[in-house]
Amino acid sequence: MEDKIKKAAELIKDSNYIVAFTGAGISTESGIPDFRSPGGLWERYDPSIYAEISSFLSHPEKYWKMHRELSQMVLNAEPNPAHVALADLEHKYGKLKTVITQNVDFLHSRAGNTNVLEIHGSGQTARCLKCNKEFHYTQIQQMLEEEQYVPRCPHPCYGLIKTNTILFGEQLPWDVLDQAREEILAADLLIIIGSSLLVYPAAALPSLAQQSGTRLIIINMEPTMMDSYANVVLHSKAGKILPKVFEAFESLINDS
């Protein structure tokens, strides 16, 4: 493991335009479960039913039931050492240019990263599907606390409100996806953290990096389909290993 940490640190030292691609795994150490953790939220709320657009439209109460639990977890969560290491890589060294995330928990922004592309949207805002009025999540929380099981736009519109997260069956925001592709093509190193790389089209972005010859570091608890293409693979908890990689990188900088 020490050799791999050193190799990852060297890759970071030799790169000037680093992009991070993150998934639910980077936030599990902040207390937000990924889709595959045993005993987690998603065992009770199958995402293919509870996080799917047609079931949201026909049974919004199901989505909001799940959302009540998930939003409590997100609101109680704090950025963990992996989020902080990415913020340091941007602010202390200017090496990290962009974070492309599949997460909707806004922990990267809260950690301090400034250029965060949320390709699956964000739970920070919601909007009325009828009049498009936007709501901040604090307003939604208030509606839920007032026992509104399905938040609706205030009278007279009374439209259904939906968080600005992308549900299964919905199109990704193409402008954000285009920016993500541009960043991937500009990158000289892509660090992939906490993603099973099974959810498309998001998972096509690391493949694009690999096809364009970008060097890859993968940090994930379990193997992914991209492991054989990566320069370094670290099967470990992101919150434990990323600070170690960052420390090793700082030692290399201080020694040179």
Catalytic amino acids? 120
49 belongs to the binding site for ligand NAD (CB under 6 A): no
Which of 98, 122, 195, 214 binds ligand NAD (CB under 6 A)? It is 195
Nearest-CB residue for ligand NAD: 25
Which of 49, 129, 199, 252 binds ligand NAD (CB under 6 A)? It is 199
State the CB neighbour count (10 A cutoff) for residue 251. Answer: 13
Q: Whole-number minimum distance, CB 68 to ligand NAD, in Å?
A: 15
135 touches 125 (CB < 8 A): yes
163 belongs to the binding site for ligand NAD (CB under 6 A): no
143 belongs to the binding site for ligand NAD (CB under 6 A): no
Torsion sign across C-alpha atoms 211, 221, 118, 174: positive
State the CB neighbour count (10 A cutoff) for residue 202. Answer: 21
Q: Smaller CB distance to ligand NAD: residue 64 or 153?
A: 64
Q: Whole-number minimum distance, CB 215 to ligand NAD, in Å?
A: 20
24 belongs to the binding site for ligand NAD (CB under 6 A): yes
Tell me which stretch binds ligand NAD (CB under 6 A): 32-40, 53-61, 84-92, 128-136: 32-40
Question: Edge-to-edge strand order for the sheet containing 189-193?
Answer: 116-118, 96-101, 18-22, 189-193, 215-219, 232-234
Measure CA of the first residue to CA of the last residue in the chain; give whole Å.
23
Of 107, 87, 106, nearest in space to 98 by CA: 87
Q: Can you tell me the distance from the alpha carbon of 250 to that of 242, in angstroms, rounded to the nearest whole number?
A: 12
Give contact residues for ligand NAD (rule: CB under 6 A). Answer: 23-25, 27-29, 32, 34-36, 102-105, 120, 194-196, 198-199, 219-222, 237-239
